[in-house]
């Protein structure tokens, strides 16, 4: 047999029927991943939530209904939204009515009856004027996503011990909490990946010693160590020091697990045929690591990142709950949870636990995204 006829790649009769769908379109890695990701309901929900979270966080001042520093009545309960206009008719736009005592007494308990004060309506609307702020720190504006049209205060989630609106503080607080998470995760990912790949690729003595070191780090009981380390910060230190310290502490231990996983993947990749082929054409170590090993470890890293972010957010909130948090004027969810440590406070004013909901939503969103990604990132 001389020259065999040139086969068209994807549609030869011998190839299975399915590959017809490869005939068109880009088959690059990210397209494949997106295609598979789209099919995961949980993942898509997570993606939408994460994107919304990030948007709300960046444009926090716009979304927050009130100025987070403005003080009102302390420990005020959440206002309820009603769709009744002051005259009793149905209104498309919601109103908020402060609760006041109606002057009558309940015949059985002799407690004053409380009810909505229709004489003091606070209509709500979208894109209302409110407190001044700067978009992205540069452009002055004063429109808020929604708020009271007559400028009166109202609190959908109640107020804290200094009378500040919890919802607004939660929205603004997302910035610091997410920022800490993103910075820590970036640092741990870079360190973990570098150490993992180097250790796995070079092998031998370096690998053994590095692995011993990693085992040492992993042997530390993490939570108590975080507690101990955060207690190192003097009470009087400014917030920026606290932030830097928390970031340093969380990064110091967080890279170890990732480095271990990256190393084991690198070990198997370092012997695989296409890496040997690259060595056979004369590619140097740098090229092999960056063009061959790293892209194939990437899938694992992406999933690890999306799952570590909520873990850091959680640790920050837990530390805040225990009393170690940033200082005003910075706001974070950890700080908001600092006041919730006492049982009596929770009992009388349960709404100050609302930051828990913020944390829950964030954790859920990133975990859902990570779950969806985990199935999608190995499309082969």
The answer to whether residue 276 forms part of the interface with other proteins (CB under 8 A) is yes
Taking CB under 8 A as the criterion, the residue among 54, 56, 253, 283 binding other proteins is 283
Q: In this chain, which of 371, 373, 376, 377 binds other proteins, going by CB under 8 A?
A: 371
* Size of the chain, expressed as the number of residues it contains: 380
CA–CA dist 49, 328 (Å, integer): 28
CB of 22 to other proteins, least distance (A): 5
Residue number with CB closer to other proteins (74 or 277): 277
Stretch that binds other proteins, among 65-73, 116-124, 135-143, 269-277 (CB under 8 A): 269-277
The single residue among 8, 24, 111, 119 that binds other proteins, judged by CB under 8 A, is 8
Is 282 a binding residue for other proteins by CB under 8 A? The answer is: yes
Residue from 53, 54, 278, 302 touching other proteins (CB under 8 A): that is 278
Nearer to other proteins, 144 or 292 (CB): 292
Interaction between residue 253 and other proteins (CB under 8 A) = no
> Residues 315 to 334: which contact other proteins by CB under 8 A?
317-318, 321-323
Q: How far is the CB of 91 from other proteins (least distance, A)?
A: 34
> Binding residue for other proteins (CB under 8 A) from 88, 140, 221, 329?
221
* Residue 68: both structure tokens together: 């987070």
Does 18 bind other proteins (CB under 8 A)? Our answer is yes
Contacting range for other proteins; rule: CB under 8 A; set: 56-64, 170-178, 180-188, 212-220: 212-220
The pair phi, psi for residue 4, each rounded to 5°, is -80, 150
Q: Does 108 bind other proteins (CB under 8 A)?
A: no
2 binds other proteins (CB under 8 A): yes
Tell me the three-class secondary structure of the chain, residue by residue.
CCCCCCCCCCCCCCCCHHHHHHCCCCCCHHHHHHHHHHCCHHHHHHHHHHHHHHHHHHCHHHHCCCCCCCCCCCCCCCCCEEEECCCCCEEEEEEECCEEEEEEECCCCCCEEEEECCCCCEEEEEEEEEEEEEECCCEEEEEEEEEECCCCCCCCCCECCCCCEHHHHHHHHHHHHHHHHHHHHHHHHHHHHHHHHHHHHHCHHHHHHHHHHHHHHHHCCHHHHHHHHHCCCCCCCCHHHHHHHHHHHHHHHHHHHHHHHHHHHHHHHHCCHHHHHHHHCCCCHHHHHHHHHHHHHHHHHHHHHHHHHHHHHHHHHHHHHCCCCCCCCCCCHHHHHHHHHCHHHHHHCHHHHCHHHHHHHHHHHHHHHHHHHHHHCCCC
Closer to other proteins by Cβ: residue 54 or 278? 278
The dihedral formed by the CA atoms of 238, 248, 166 and 66, expressed in degrees to the nearest 10: 70
Any contact of residue 75 with other proteins (CB under 8 A)? no
Q: Does 223 bind other proteins (CB under 8 A)?
A: yes
Site for other proteins in 116-175 (CB under 8 A): none
Residue 182 as a binder of other proteins (CB under 8 A): the answer is no
Total residues contacting other proteins by CB under 8 A comes to: 79
C-beta closer to other proteins: residue 89 or 348: 348
Residue 14 interacts with other proteins (CB under 8 A)?
yes
Smallest gap from Cβ 268 to other proteins, in A, equals: 11
Beta carbon nearer to other proteins, 88 or 284: 284
Member of 107, 137, 224, 286 binding other proteins (CB under 8 A): 224
In the region spanning residues 298 to 317, those forming contacts with other proteins, defined by CB under 8 A, are 310, 314, 317
End-to-end C-alpha distance for the chain, whole angstroms:
35
CB 131 within 8 A of CB 152: no
One residue of 123, 207, 279, 351 binding other proteins per CB under 8 A? 279
């Amino acid at each position: 047999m001389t020259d065999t006829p040139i086969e068209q790649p994807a549609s030869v009769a011998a190839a299975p029927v399915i590959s017809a769908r490869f005939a068109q379109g880009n088959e690059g890695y990210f397209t494949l991943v997106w295609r598979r990701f789209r099919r995961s309901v949980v993942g898509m929900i997570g993606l939408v939530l994460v994107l919304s979270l990030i948007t709300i966080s960046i444009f926090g001042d716009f979304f927050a209904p009130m100025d987070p520093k403005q003080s009102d009545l302390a420990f005020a309960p959440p206002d309820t939204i009603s769709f009744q206009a002051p005259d009793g008719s149905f209104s498309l736009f919601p109103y908020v009515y402060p609760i006041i005592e109606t002057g009558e007494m309940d015949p059985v308990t002799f407690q004053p009856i409380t009810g909505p004060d229709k004489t003091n309506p606070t209509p709500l609307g979208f894109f209302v004027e409110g407190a001044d702020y700067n978009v992205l720190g540069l452009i002055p504006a004063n429109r808020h996503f929604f708020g009271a049209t007559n400028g009166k205060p109202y609190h959908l989630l109640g107020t804290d011990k200094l009378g500040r609106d919890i919802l607004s503080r939660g929205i603004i607080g997302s910035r610091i909490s997410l920022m800490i998470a993103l910075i820590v995760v970036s640092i741990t990912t870079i360190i973990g990946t570098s150490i993992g790949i180097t250790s796995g690729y070079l092998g031998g003595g370096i690998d053994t010693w590095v692995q011993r070191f990693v085992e040492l780090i992993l042997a530390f009981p993490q939570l108590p160590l975080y507690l101990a380390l955060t207690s190192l910060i003097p009470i009087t230190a400014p917030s920026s020091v606290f932030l830097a310290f928390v970031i340093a502490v969380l990064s110091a231990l967080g890279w170890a697990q990732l480095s271990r996983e990256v190393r084991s993947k690198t070990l198997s990749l370092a012997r695989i045929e296409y890496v040997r082929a690259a060595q056979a054409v004369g590619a140097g170590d740098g090229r092999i690591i960056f063009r061959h090993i790293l892209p194939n470890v990437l899938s694992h890293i992406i999933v690890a990142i999306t799952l570590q972010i909520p873990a850091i957010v959680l640790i920050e909130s837990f530390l805040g709950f225990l009393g170690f948090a940033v200082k005003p004027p910075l706001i974070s969810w950890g700080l908001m949870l600092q006041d919730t440590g006492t049982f009596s406070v929770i009992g009388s004013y349960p709404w100050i636990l609302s930051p828990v909901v913020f944390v829950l939503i964030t954790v859920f969103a990133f975990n859902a995204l990570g779950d969806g990604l985990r199935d999608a990132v190995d499309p082969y």
